[in-house]
């Protein structure tokens, strides 16, 4: 379960047995949501925020932060997905301490 980012208490991670579409999970104090990246010809066209079956969704404030973060860091998240699942590369979790806009 590689953690890729930590953002104001939200842990963004991939599960090791992931599947397409490309997505990242956001966890915060027992709550969890995910962001799916819709790619068309290798370009991010949309990001869909979804519930995770059997989990409480992120609280409203953290959900807003998760949406903002995934929008700003979308290209990096997709690149890390490819690195991890296609090229089997490891990486360190990055802690982001500044609010994204």
**Tens-place pLDDT, residues 69-99:** 999 999 999 999 999 999 999 989 999 999 9
Residue with more model confidence, 19 or 96: 96
Task: Mark out the alpha helices in the chain (DSSP H runs).
Answer: 60-72, 74-85
> According to the model, what pLDDT value does residue 16 have?
82
The DSSP 8-state label assigned to residue 56 in this structure reads: B
| Crossing angle (nearest 10°) for helices 60-72 and 74-85 | 80
**How many domains does the chain contain in total?**
1
**C-alpha dist (Å) from residue 42 to 37, 45, 46, 55, 87:** 11, 9, 12, 30, 17
Residue ranges making up the domain that contains 36 = 3-96
Residue 101 lies in a domain: no
Tell me the percentage of the chain whose pLDDT exceeds 70.
100
- List, for residues 35-49, the tens digit of each pLDDT value: 999 999 989 999 999
């Amino acid at each position: 379960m590689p953690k890729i980012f930590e953002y104001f208490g939200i842990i963004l991670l991939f599960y090791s047995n992931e599947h397409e579409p490309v997505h990242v999970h956001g966890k915060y104090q027992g709550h969890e949501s995910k962001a799916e990246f819709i790619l068309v010809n290798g370009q991010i066209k949309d990001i869909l925020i979804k519930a995770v079956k059997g989990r409480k969704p992120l609280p409203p404030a953290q959900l807003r932060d998760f949406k903002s973060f995934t929008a700003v860091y979308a290209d990096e998240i997709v690149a890390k997905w490819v690195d991890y699942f296609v090229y089997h590369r490891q990486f360190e979790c990055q802690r982001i301490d500044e609010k994204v806009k």
